[in-house]
Amino acid sequence: MSPEPGTASTRSATRSVRDVVFVDGVRTPFGRAGEKGIYAGMRADDLVVKCIRDLMRRNPSLPAARVDEVAIAATTQTGDQGLTIGRTAALLAGLPRSVPGFAIDRMCAGAMTAVTTTASGIAFGAYDVVIAGGVEHMGNHPMGSGADPNPRFASERIVDPAALNMGNTAENLHDRFPGITKDRTDAYAVQSQQKLARAYDAGQIQPDLVPVAGKKAGSGWTLNTADEPPRPGTTLEDLASLRTPFRAHGRVTAGNAAGLNDGATAALLASGDAAEELGLPVRMRLVGYAFAGVEPEVMGIGPVPATEKALRQTGLKIDDIGLFEINEAFAVQVLSFLDHFGIDDEDPRVNRYGGAIAVGHPLASSGVRLMNQLARQFEEDPDVRYGMTTMCIGLGMGATVIWENPHHEHYGQDAA
């Protein structure tokens, strides 16, 4: 017997994939982890709450009850980053109790996975509007704190124990690609600092920052409106003098790698139809995404196979990508990606506003920072049709998301 028109069976049979758009994204200023950092003594979940509230404030045409899901990532899911932080942050932010939420973990690509997971739900028709992001308070939760790796990793040589330390994996990547010298990584790091400084001077970073008040003993309250980690005056001479903590006479230093940081991000995603219905802006359209695994000992190479996979799935070529936002966990990791695809170290398409070496990398939150910066660059450069956000991930993975610029003259025409 055939189902009646309009029943669940017929709706399921005729469901089609829907467009997913990036509506808006915000983040807290990133701080240095530790007792002297701007977020010392502050809770991680409160940082997320500030992001969610600011997203809702910036988009007044969105009724709070229309948010279908809140997905928040954290690498260390305990204490103030535990208790299903997507749900608790939604409640603390004042969203209706009808709005569900969940937590997610893919280490550095947590926020990126929160975006792709909920975006898939939008494409499938399960959601219309979602909030996705991430948080990492590395001052409260040092990387690896409380972790208990299975002894089989070592006893069965599943993973070299050294691969559990990200700095060691970066040194391994230098071994694999000897052409990526310390001088070259230091030069890249200086560029990152300089590009971020120029972006701040041009007002390109500030629009997506959520001011966060913090209190310190002896100094009272301070309103934090800018990132704490940048060192804009960094020179090659400064970097040459830094020690190599992961290996004697190594190449990875605190100057050519991202630091230990605190911060949170959140993005608003919607179906194309819902965005139109609610009068929400469209800043990017999701084209495709991919995750890939690599040897944990050289986890920094992860963006290469993830990007190749995403390009195959979307039918695009690397030359179609007009802007790259690559997370700078380590300079060697970025340069291995550029070398693989034949892209120059100073290519103007790459990290125009600088990257994590300058601004910081609060692990699970960083994916949405990349998206914020790409969306801002799309607005500035309508000649670019496609852009990419990509990053390496601890334990040997990579993630890549490809986006389309709605300001391009051919947006939506024969799109991949």
If one counts every other C-beta atom within 10 angstroms of the C-beta of residue 2, the result is: 7
Q: Which candidate in 51, 108, 137, 174 is catalytic? A: 108
In sequence order, what are the beta bridge partners of 400?
290, 390
* DSSP letter, residue 209: B
Is 408 assigned a catalytic role?
A: no
DSSP 220: E
Dihedrals φ, ψ of 388, to 5°? -135, 140
> Which uninterrupted H or E stretch holds 70?
strand 69-73
Backbone angles phi, psi at 187, to 5 degrees: -65, -40
> What are the angstrom distances between the C-alpha of 288 and each of 252, 372, 409?
33, 17, 20
Quick one: which of 259, 277, 391 has its CA closest to 325? 391
Whether residue 141 lies in the annotated active site: no
The neighbour count for residue 221, using CB atoms within 10 Å, is: 8
Distance CA 37, CA 328 (A): 21
Distance between CA 397 and CA 292 in Å, rounded? 5
Q: Which of 51, 249, 392, 410 is catalytic?
A: 392
Is 361 labeled as catalytic in the residue annotation? yes
Residue keyed to tokens 């928040």: 72
Catalytic-role residue among 137, 141, 174, 361: 361
User: Which phi and psi (to 5°) does residue 118 adopt?
Assistant: -70, -30
Q: Which residues belong to the active site?
A: 108, 361, 392
